[in-house]
Structure 1
Amino acid sequence: MIRRVAAIAIVVVLAACPPVAAAAEQSLEAIRDSAVTWLKQNRTLPGARMVAEADPLDSRLRLAACAAPLEVSVPGNRPISARVSVVVHCPAPGGWTARVPVRVHMFTDVLVTTRPLARGDGLGADDLRAEERDIASLAYGYVASLDQVGGRALVRPLNAGTVLTPGMLAGRQAVRVGDAVSMEASVDGVMIRADGVAMGAGDTGARVKVRNASSGKILDAVVSGPGSVAVLP
């Protein structure tokens, strides 16, 4: 009888005690949202439109609810590409750090060729048009403004519809292919000038071939300035 009363008392005591609350967990969805929101607010280029989607985190991941605002960053301040690893950190005591893979698309206008172009061609407004492209997927970069191509020539031929990249452009050209140039040559100490046509392109100091407009003879020369070359002996 005594044992029975004691057992009933234990049951009553246990029933009277409130259940132990489970530790609050951090929402994985909130972690993903914070990574996407931070990217859109801090890494979208002026005039561009970003579309970002975080990959699902491992559902087995259990993190304590963070008592402080989450801190978000991209390691090394790397340029934004199509796949970005975003670090989300809980700065509270005993906090945690999670890495969130995010797929990124960033759309803005870039310059695209309007027609086939040859190596050495200079570029003008008629050769290029602006089109919206996903620059996050352009591994070799892009050119956004005609100001970036003025006075420069192509280092290789391009098909129509090609996105122009910085690596496709040579240095600024003082002389371009087909330009009329003034040729200067020193013969026995006497400076002789003649009209010619550039067969190559380059900035001051570059070596190019030129054709004498009168004789048709092909000569080696060095670019001495805009529209002028010094014929080599």
Structure 2
Amino acid sequence: MRTLLVILGFLVAAPVFAGGQVDLATIQRTAASWLDQQLSQYQGQSSYVFGKLDSRLRLDACNAMDVKAAPGYRLAGNSMLRVTCVDGAMWAINLPVKISVQATYYVAAKPLAAGHELVDGDLAPQQGDLGQLPGSVILDPSSALGRTLSAAVAAGAAVRAEMLRAPIIIQQGQKVRVLIRVGDIEVSNDGYAMNNASEGQNVRVRVGTSTIVQGIARPDGSVQVTE
């Protein structure tokens, strides 16, 4: 059940402008509708409280508004929404909002060492307010399993995205298959990797005695080169 907390004093004080102007309460209702939709992705309870807008604002009438998180903000904790008129006038304002989102995030189920590859049983679900947590906490365990920890994590500590790196699928000196695409034609050859690489990373490959090519590591351990 979603709890919508709105500052009643703001609703009472927000003036309604006649003569081709938009009232501030309409802006707030539009933002609330958008925010409800965005927060519906979370299974836990969420609530928010809008901050006050300056009642002296005079904004021309608007037929349609676009709402999004203001640059540099996330939809948790003390945040800011950017409301822009996209039909009927040219204005944009920032609407402050404090958001509480109770959601499931994942912590280390036991002490985990740096360099450990995460497997089933390493992570445990935890409930908490995302506004009180780093924005990079893991919400989907499938995005972490199979990845390697760059730092040790204590039991019960949140696992964060910046702690994880994709597994190395190509080792320096490894023999690899090189796929070279020129237009609609693809040819393949064997070579030797000159650096380690995870999926999607750049890897340099020596083909023959002196030819060096650079491509992208593919999930199967081959290297894709596009000419």
TM-score bracket relative to the smaller structure: 0.5 to 0.7
Unpaired stretches in structure 1, ≥5 consecutive residues: 1-21, 175-203, 207-233
User: How well do the aligned residues superpose, as a CA RMSD in angstroms?
Assistant: 3.5
Q: For the structure 1 residues 97 and 109, does the alpha-carbon distance in structure 2 shift closer, same or farther, using more than 3 Å as the test?
A: same
Deviation at 1:91, TM superposition (A): 5.2
SS in 2 for 1:122: coil
Which of 129, 147, 150 is equivalent to 2:145? 150
Deviation at 1:167, TM superposition (A): 1.7
1:71–1:122 distance in 2 versus 1, CA, 3 Å? closer
> Residues of 1 paired with 2:28 and 2:121: CA distance?
45
Change (3 A) 1:93 1:158: closer
Give the structure 2 partner of residue 106 of structure 1: 101
- Structure 2 unmatched runs, 5+: 1-16, 170-194, 198-227
SS of residue in 1 equivalent to 2:94: strand
Cα distance in 1 for partners of 2:84, 2:154 equals 47
1:110 positional shift: 1.5
What TM-score comes out, normalization by structure 2 length?
A: 0.52
Per-residue deviation, residues 82-116 of structure 1 (Å, max 9, x unmatched): 34332334456556433212222333222111222
Q: What is the TM-score with the length of structure 1 in the denominator?
A: 0.51
Structure 1 stretches of 4+ moved >6 Å:
none
Write the distance in 1 (CA, Å) between the matches of 2:94 and 2:111. 45
Structure 2 residue 113 is the aligned partner of structure 1 residue 132: no
Return the index of the structure with the highest Cα Rg. Answer: 1
Report the residue type matching 1:32 in the other structure.
Q
| 1:140–1:167 CA contact under 8 A, matched in 2 | no
Report the Cα distance in structure 1 between the residues aligned to 2:99 and 2:39, rounded to whole angstroms: 10
1:56 corresponding residue in structure 2: 52
Map residues 19-168 of structure 1 onto 2, 5 A cutoff: 23=18, 26-41=22-37, 43-44=38-39, 46-49=41-44, 50-63=46-59, 66=61, 68-74=63-69, 80-90=75-85, 93=88, 96-168=91-163
CA contact (8 A) 1:153 1:173 kept: no
More strand by share: 2
